[in-house]
Amino acid sequence: MTSGKTFQLSGRPAKHTVLFFYPKDNTPGCTTENMAFRDLHEQFTAAGAEIYGISRDSIRSHEGFKTKLGLPFELISDPDEVVCQLFGVMKMKQMYGKTVRGVERSTFVIDASGRLVKEWRGVKVAGHVDEVLEFVKS
């Protein structure tokens, strides 16, 4: 995880932990999604939620991406796809007319007891972060 920290889901003090999986640092949709979470970060925090972005990119890539966008939350590197497999986000997708294996943009909300309480799969970026915020506020 960025900032040299280690992530552990159990024992999180937050009311909600938001894990959002995205395909790749520095790509248009992923940049837009990370910026949307950044821009609403204070509201998520006020609602008792912690946010973590996850992709297969390296820590080095994540550190640069986090700095470039001024992200106030941590990014988790999953190059071996351990977490991606746990959440079932690796999918076959069409990209430029070719079938490729990659991360399906997905978001999961986990409560303080470690229970999955909401999931979004196959996410379209527009309006998604607002929807997640409304869920954690309710």
Q: Which residues are catalytic?
A: 30
Instruction: Compute the distance between CA of residue 134 and CA of residue 85 in angstroms, rounded to an integer.
Output: 27
Find how far residue 92's CA is from the centre of its chain: 19
Q: Are strands 74-77 and 49-55 parallel, antiparallel or unpaired?
A: parallel
Cβ distance 5 to 74 under 8 Å? yes
* Sign of the dihedral through C-alpha 105, 109, 115, 117: negative
> Which residues, listed in sequence order, are joined to residue 71 by a DSSP beta bridge?
none
